[in-house]
Structure formats: C-alpha cells, structure tokens
Structure 1
Amino acid sequence: MAWLLLVGAGLLEIGWAVGLKYTGGWTQLVPSLLAIASAVTSFFMLSAALKTLPVGTAYAVWVGIGAFGVAVVGIVFLGESASPARLALLGLLLAAIIGLKLVEG
C-alpha cells in the first residue's frame, strides 16, 4: 500500500509542477487552486507512505517520478527537446527509480 501511495504522490507532483506553468504567477485562479490542491495531496500521500518506507528511498522515488514525468509532459505536450542525450538521461532516471523499488522490496 505504501508504494501505491508513493506512486500516486509522484504522479500528483507531476500535476502541480506542470500546473505551475499555467498559474500566471498565481494570478489565474483555477490553475492556481488545482496546483495547490495537487501539491497538498501529494505531500499527504508522501507522508503516509513514509510511515513504512525509508525516507531516503521514498523521497528519491517521489522526486524521480515527478522529474521524469514533468520532462515527459514537456516533451510530449509542450514541444520541449527530445534529443537523444535527454532521452538517454531520462532512461537512466527511470532505471534508478525502478532500481530503488527493487532493492527496497
């Protein structure tokens, strides 16, 4: 259950990080509220996962899911660079996230 909470928290991190782009410096009400709600929910889910998972692993996985997901959203939906080097580094990040899950069990 803790790993499901952690993955959910990571996915919500993607939501609030991308959502920040659309807040207009916190001047756009709906995107701002959605980003805040996503961030708060993500933090609560991370906190719940930390009841049983080691903090170092959980935090690294949470940040990794967020970083990987935001980069993919940027490439797929926002026209950001998909250079071979960037894709290779994202692959390494994904391998690290999976590796941390495998070694923690």
Structure 2
Amino acid sequence: MATMRISVRWQSQGGNKTKDNRDCAGIGLAGDSLLAVVADGSTAGKDSGQLAQCLVRNLVDWFASTSWRVGEGNLSGQLQHIHGSFAAKFPRSSASYMIVVVQPQHPCLVG
C-alpha cells in the first residue's frame, strides 16, 4: 500500500480594506482521509473574520471525528448545519471558502 505524504504551508496577507486579517485555514485528518479548508471573512460585517474561524474550526472538528466516507451529501448537510448554528451570532457577516476532501479510492471533492 502506498503512503500519501502531505506538506502544508500556510501564508496569508491581510487585505487593504480592513485593519484585521480575516483569513483562516484548517486541516482535518480522519484515518487516511484529509480535509483542507480555507476561508476568507468578508470586508462587510465587522465579525466576518470570527465567522470564518468558526466555520473552519467546526468543519475540521466534524471531519476529524468522522469514521465514514465523506461525500457531497453529508459535507453539504454539515455545512448547512454549521451555517445555521452561527446565523444568529453573526447576522451581518459572511465568508467565502474553499474545501478539498481527499480520500483513498474515492474521487477528490472540491467545493
């Protein structure tokens, strides 16, 4: 069986529209599977950076605790659950994100 090696290097630069850097990234490992997520809090909404952090942290924690194959359906459902749980806390905030899921013997998911 081949071993997959992963090297991660995180480099972030704050934008020029806000004083704070609203970027956040996370890596989750579950067995032989990997989830990588990068989020960028919007310049609109003063708490968008905090929202990005909450989204990343909760998604990585969920993935790391899974023992089943992550597919589009359960990933989408979990994202909806996470968004719903933070909607009241961050009503005027938003974040863009990219997610990659790599699992042996399954197509790579990118969203």
TM-score normalised by L of structure 2: 0.32
Name which structure has the greater RCO, CA cutoff 8 Å, separation 6+: 1
Q: Which has the higher strand share?
A: 2
TM-score normalised by L of structure 1: 0.33
Q: Which has the higher helix share?
A: 1
